[in-house]
Amino acid sequence: MTDGLVVGTSGNVSVRVGDTVLVTPSGVPYDRLAPHDATGVDLDGRQVLGTLVPTSELPMHLAVYRADPGARAVVHTHAVHATAVSLLVSELPPVHYMTAALGGPVRVAPYAAYGTDALARAMLDALADRTGCLLRNHGTVTYGDSLDQAYDRTAQLEWMCRLWLTAASVPGHAPSLLTPEQLAEVTERLEGYGQRS
């Protein structure tokens, strides 16, 4: 909440632990969540932990875990800049090299009502070979092999959306975009980036 990625009860988060998906409950503000509010479901969506109703976006979270067994966390937000970009384009243009960290230019999934299988399917199509996407008139979805990684990808996506909106708003100028070759070079460099474990 302090990063401005969610407001009130908008957005949701999940973490996969074995065959259980721990997910934020529906309609509970994040600043009021406590450990006893934990909600868990199996990969078929059956509740196995807690008494609070899981997020209405459960179909999206489960779709990611079913599609990519390596996914360990999913973050969905209604971040303002990313949502604004989803209204304007079908793909976030590659304005920064961190586009490569999400697998390439970030696609926008067509609009579908929240909490539906149609939205989950549209999201999966937009996520093909990517770890993040925008949802038209809705928000963002990112995932990763840890909650930290999924969250960092969400924050990076929101920053890139803000960057593009800012640059694109200057009259008489168009933002400079990276080429596929430049993104490929960054993708290769990112493979060795960071500390060795």
Query: Which one-letter DSSP state was computed for residue 53?
Result: P
Cβ-contact 25, 55 below 8 angstroms: yes
What pLDDT was estimated at residue 7?
Answer: 58
Instruction: Return the pLDDT at 108.
Output: 98
Closest CA to 152 of 195, 101, 197: 101
Query: How many whole angstroms separate alpha carbon 82 and alpha carbon 11?
Result: 13
Q: How far apart are CA 112 and CA 86, in angstroms?
A: 13
Which two tokens mark 10? 């908008």
Determine the distance from the C-alpha atom of residue 100 to the mean position of all C-alpha atoms in its chain, rounded to a whole number. 15
Q: What tokens does 128 get?
A: 């093909």
pLDDT of residue 195: 59
Angle 117-127/58-67 helices, nearest 10 degrees? Answer: 40
Which residue out of 57, 91, 181, 191 is catalytically annotated?
A: 57
Phi, psi of 9 (to 5 degrees): -105, 10
- Written as six digits, the tokens of 55 are 């997020």
Mean pLDDT per block of 10 residues along the chain (197 residues) reads 56 95 88 86 96 95 97 96 97 96 96 97 98 97 97 96 96 94 91 64
Q: Is 188 a catalytic site residue?
A: no
Model-wide pTM > 0.85: yes
Which residue pairs, CB below 8 angstroms and at least 24 apart, start in 87-93?
Answer: 87/136, 87/137, 92/134, 92/157, 92/160, 92/161, 92/164, 93/164, 93/175, 93/177
